């Protein structure tokens, strides 16, 4: 084996290093400083919202969303089942219970009919997930939420740069949350964001994310010496200014990163479309997909584990898609989500990032076809 083709890889370089050097020279490296403020202003504009709050990760942003929207013990929140468990965990952190709803077999986003069926008198809200970046059915979900007087949260962890019916991911619910983990479309290694149009939620989230008091930057701008008073339990969910500097450079790169991944997705589609045992991902015509991951569905007769092992032996990194949350022992949910469970068993993610060359994309597709054919022939 010579070259290893990475599953995911950040696109970083001199721009990010220069941004970090600027923060070092400023003397303010800690969280929620002036560089964070600049990033928040720019990210809110990109997400189409009035407010953005930089956080440690998407999980902490989800926790803030649920706290500010009032979820707590005795409540239920309907959650898209096919997602990394941080989505369900964030509900448990408030003392509420996640109730998982099945997903559509084509977009892999939560099925509005399943959401409606999961609502009980204890339901207070809905969390939709933009599966691998593709937005969910927000017009239908908004109608359900309004009809039942529920809040709606968009877990846009993978969706920076995506759109739904012409509207950017982030602007599609009461609150949206993003991840800047190393495999995401734009990244500082870790980090996240909470975005909203609501002044009250933004102000409350900003207080909670700094231990329950105003941040040091805000206090430094006052004309007197403020002595904070702790009236509410808060958290240390602040993103450092070093990471915010990287994110400012990454925002500048976002258009080129999206263009590169969309070219790669299109090429994968061309190379794999006719294989009888491999189904390529579907993009809804009213959405722009950011392609955080490229996930194929293998025929039930194909041994996914054997395929993954053979791909790795030939230098192609891969992994499963994401989790069917309802089967995780932590949640103890008895109601099945059969579509999500089937996707969990058959999905395979292959290399997808903006640094892939045309030759690497062809190598991945050719190797995948060879391995699937060999595995199916056994």
pLDDT digits 0-9 by tens, 109-143: 999 999 999 999 999 999 999 999 999 999 999 99
Predicted local confidence at residue 214, as pLDDT: 81
Predicted confidence band at 219 (pLDDT cuts at 50, 70, 90)? low
Phi, psi for residue 348 in degrees, rounded to 5: -140, 125
CA 301, 304, 309, 311 torsion-angle sign: positive
Q: Give residue-wise pLDDT tens across range 62-86.
A: 999 999 999 999 999 999 999 999 9
What kind and span of H or E run contains 257? helix 241-272
Question: Dihedral, CA atoms, 48, 123, 179, 200, nearest 10 degrees?
Answer: 50
Give the model confidence (pLDDT) of 135-177 as tens digits: 999 999 999 999 999 999 999 999 999 999 999 999 999 999 9
For range 4-15, the mean pLDDT: 98
When pLDDT is cut at 50, 70 and 90, the band that residue 222 belongs to is: low
CA distances to 222, 234, 288, 335 from 227, in Å: 11, 17, 47, 51
Instruction: Point out which residues pair with 236 in neighbouring strands.
Output: 210
Question: Which residue in this structure is represented by tokens 């409606």?
Answer: 116
pLDDT at 179 over 90: yes
Out of 184, 207, 261, 273, which one is annotated catalytic? 184
Burial of 146 (C-beta count, 10 Å sphere; 0-12/13-18/19+): exposed
Q: What's the pLDDT tens digit per position in 302-356? A: 999 999 999 999 999 999 999 999 999 999 898 999 999 999 999 999 999 999 9
CA 334 and chain centroid, separation = 26
Domains of the chain with bracketed CATH: 14-250 (3.40.640.10), 254-376 (3.90.1150.10)
Q: Name the pLDDT band for 227 (thresholds 50, 70, 90).
A: confident
CA distance 201 to 77: 18
Respond yes or no: is residue 261 known to be catalytic.
Answer: no
Residue 29: Cβ within 10 Å count: 15
């Amino acid at each position: 084996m010579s070259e290893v083709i990475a599953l995911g890889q950040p696109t970083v370089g001199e721009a990010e290093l220069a941004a970090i050097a600027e923060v070092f020279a400023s003397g303010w490296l800690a969280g929620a400083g002036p560089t964070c403020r600049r990033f928040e202003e720019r990210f809110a504009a990109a997400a189409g919202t009035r407010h953005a709050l930089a956080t440690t990760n998407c999980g902490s942003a989800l926790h803030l969303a649920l706290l500010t929207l009032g979820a707590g013990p005795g409540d239920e929140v309907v959650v898209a089942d096919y997602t990394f468990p941080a989505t369900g965990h964030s509900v448990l952190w408030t003392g509420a219970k996640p109730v998982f709803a099945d997903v559509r077999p084509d977009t892999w986003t939560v099925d509005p009919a399943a959401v409606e069926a999961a609502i009980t008198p204890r339901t207070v809200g809905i969390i939709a997930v933009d599966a691998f970046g593709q937005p969910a059915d927000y017009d239908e979900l908004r109608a359900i939420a309004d009809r039942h007087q529920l809040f709606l949260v968009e877990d846009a962890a993978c969706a920076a740069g995506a759109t739904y019916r012409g509207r950017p991911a982030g602007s599609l619910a009461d609150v949206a949350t993003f991840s800047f983990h190393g495999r995401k479309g734009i990244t500082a290694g870790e980090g996240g964001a909470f975005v909203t149009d609501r002044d009250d939620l933004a102000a409350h989230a900003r207080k909670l994310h700094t231990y329950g008091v105003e941040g040091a930057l805000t206090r430094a701008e006052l004309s007197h010496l403020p002595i904070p008073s702790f009236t509410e339990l808060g958290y240390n969910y602040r993103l450092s200014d070093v990471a915010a500097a990287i994110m400012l450079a990454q925002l500048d790169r976002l258009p080129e990163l999206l263009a590169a991944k969309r070219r790669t997705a299109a090429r994968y589609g061309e190379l794999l479309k006719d294989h009888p045992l491999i189904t390529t991902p579907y993009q809804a015509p009213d959405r722009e997909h950011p392609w955080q991951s490229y996930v194929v569905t293998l025929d039930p007769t194909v041994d996914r584990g054997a395929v993954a092992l053979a791909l790795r032996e030939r230098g192609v990194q891969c992994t499963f898609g994401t989790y069917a949350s309802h089967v995780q022992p932590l949640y103890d949910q008895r109601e099945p989500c059969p579509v999500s469970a089937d996707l969990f068993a058959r999905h395979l993610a292959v290399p997808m990032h903006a640094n892939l060359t045309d030759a690497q994309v062809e190598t991945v597709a050719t190797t995948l076809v060879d391995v699937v054919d060999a595995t199916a022939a056994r």
